[in-house]
Structure 1
């Protein structure tokens, strides 16, 4: 558990400038010295310790995914709080006014992760608890450089977290390399597991054994699933899946089954089509990988009715899933080889090459900003 009195003597120093990797389209990614905007009430400034490279950012750079440009990418980040806004916590005159999602006070020097999504908190969806689909949603690492949130991405020395951003405190037991992916991959899997039925005693098949799929294999195994089958065409990922609790691994979707729960992270319509056929009565399919267009999937209504099937989707996650992700990693840090999933970090200056092409087979590559 992180000590909330960590660095009690430190106060918020004004950071005037920072370095940010600005993406200006295609493979044009360059480090630039930029001013840090003044912090408003409730804002938090974080010094980036480590950021991991999510596949969605590679999709953005390659043109497969559309987002504002120019911008600072990066949304799997762990950092250290260095400053608060005029009515923030941790500095003189403002202690206790900014809190983590679990209610604890934020202070200078604490290690934190934060949500991909910044909701308004006031629209009908936010009030209904569906903040991931806020009607005026903003996203870390997805905002335009000419917007009022230009320092939103983790591929920089500092990130500005606006008032209302869900923030979670990272405990001392977790390394930066474990904590950073929790802000996207691990938290998303926590949301997926929540949408699935109780996994204890269930036959689970996980399609796609990348960072999210491997995490889902571990989550299902930890929840007491009776069997966990991992499906991925890459042999090295199938081997990793065994290390994360898979009882069976397959190169393609098996036609044997049946399964009670299908967790889909590949984004492959063909794999999903085959997977739906293997679901048993009252089977549940949770889709999270289909974030880019692919071929339609044929679903026979009669089959859905007669087998009592449920098909649900998950995109983004809720603030509670941040703390669930960190708790899950702490509980399983000695059971599964999480350290195998993230490569040794390289300097921020190398972010361009990491975004343009993956240097190897690790599920995650990382940068350090200092």
Structure 2
């Protein structure tokens, strides 16, 4: 038996032979059982770290909209469940050959963010550029709490990172509130913008973004930084005001008339050359499909929970030669690019202000309630 003293908050780590590890203070996780039931803090006194795995102490986690949908029963989820998949933390201990997304060794003390998905790397989808749709995919904050992988969600003091996770180091000087959403909303926004750029050059493009949540606001920053002229459409005047601070040229009500008025007279003939729908609202999906210019691209990102069917004119899509893409999650390179962007521009855009309040981990139910109210773009939990 060996005893290691971690540099992270003076953890005491006891290796009881092999990869069996006991940690003091004892890690705990907030466990969700069913809609309406309060979360329960559960202790996880030991774990087994396999090849390529690591244990990370959570510095800050943020509540994503999908956490709210699950907690409120708006979509099915296995139970018991540790929710949470947006977080930043520090490596406490590693298994053999644990590595970052770029292939370099992962070290104790590294400050990191990580992907929401765990991919095998060997199936047909992983080999052909779709690791986020791996045949044996598992996701942090989405899987049933299981023996051997109890610490599998971000609403905990620690998270057990599996091999196949994209782990990306982050700078010490960047605020946790900026970095925590990187592994979900920020990286997804990067993937969505890449899908646009595959069809429409971003420099000088007119891009309509529907939805002023984290993904929509991040898209304003990313796209304006890449040279696009961005129009954000959202019914909330507070979110529209935020969009202007994130690089949008105009921020309007989500109606065809308002979008047309935000374009120049010449541009109104066709409409925006690209549209990214980031809200999931059926009306916004309809707007996205009707607003795009001939030869344009529509990228759907926000529809990640059951909603109403959206009327679709196949003839209009064919005659206007639209490209329609769905984006769900992302690849490792998108997370790396997201971190690079946040570190490069954290002083240019008010990302830190998007986390409007941080509550203690024991107040997770209250945090989810605040997040559901829409009062803040993100709500944080720590401790």
TM > 0.5 between the two?
yes
Aligned equivalents of 1:345 and 1:278: distance in 2? 38
Deviation at 1:293, TM superposition (A): 2.0
Aligned equivalents of 1:274 and 1:368: distance in 2? 38
Q: Hey, what does 1:79 align to over in structure 2?
A: 89
Equivalent of 2:209, from 202, 206, 213?
206
Q: Hey, what does 2:378 align to over in structure 1?
A: 364
**Contact 2:52–2:99 (Cα < 8 Å) also in 1:** no
Q: Hey, what does 1:295 align to over in structure 2?
A: 308
1:257-278 CA distance string (max 9 Å, x none): 4101101011112222122222
Aligned equivalents of 1:81 and 1:193: distance in 2? 31
Aligned equivalents of 1:337 and 1:11: distance in 2? 34
Aligned equivalents of 1:207 and 1:360: distance in 2? 16
Q: Hey, what does 1:90 align to over in structure 2?
A: none
Aligned equivalents of 1:361 and 1:117: distance in 2? 28
Q: Does 1:34 align with 2:48?
A: no
**Contact 1:12–1:108 (Cα < 8 Å) also in 2:** no
Q: Hey, what does 2:110 align to over in structure 1?
A: 110
**1:263 alignment partner, SS class:** strand
Q: Hey, what does 2:245 align to over in structure 1?
A: 243
Deviation at 1:149, TM superposition (A): 2.1
Aligned equivalents of 2:365 and 2:303: distance in 1? 26
Equivalent of 1:252, from 251, 254, 257?
254
Aligned equivalents of 1:77 and 1:275: distance in 2? 31
Q: Does 1:325 align with 2:338?
A: yes
Equivalent of 1:275, from 288, 293, 299?
288
Aligned equivalents of 2:310 and 2:296: distance in 1? 17
Aligned equivalents of 1:98 and 1:146: distance in 2? 22
Deviation at 1:12, TM superposition (A): 8.3
1:137-174 CA distance string (max 9 Å, x none): 10011111135422110111111001222111012242
**Contact 1:174–1:330 (Cα < 8 Å) also in 2:** yes
**1:345 alignment partner, SS class:** strand
Deviates more, 1:10-19 or 1:279-288: 10-19
Unpaired stretches in structure 1, ≥5 consecutive residues: 1-6, 88-96
**Contact 1:11–1:108 (Cα < 8 Å) also in 2:** no
* Pairing of 1:39-118 with structure 2 (within 5 A): 39-85=49-95, 87=96, 97-118=97-118
Deviation at 1:33, TM superposition (A): 1.9
**TM-score using structure 2 length:** 0.87
Aligned equivalents of 2:99 and 2:115: distance in 1? 14
Deviates more, 1:352-361 or 1:126-135: 352-361
Q: Hey, what does 1:305 align to over in structure 2?
A: 318
Aligned equivalents of 2:129 and 2:181: distance in 1? 24
Q: Hey, what does 2:31 align to over in structure 1?
A: 22
Deviates more, 1:265-274 or 1:316-325: 265-274
**TM-score using structure 1 length:** 0.90
Aligned equivalents of 2:305 and 2:31: distance in 1? 24
**Contact 1:285–1:310 (Cα < 8 Å) also in 2:** yes
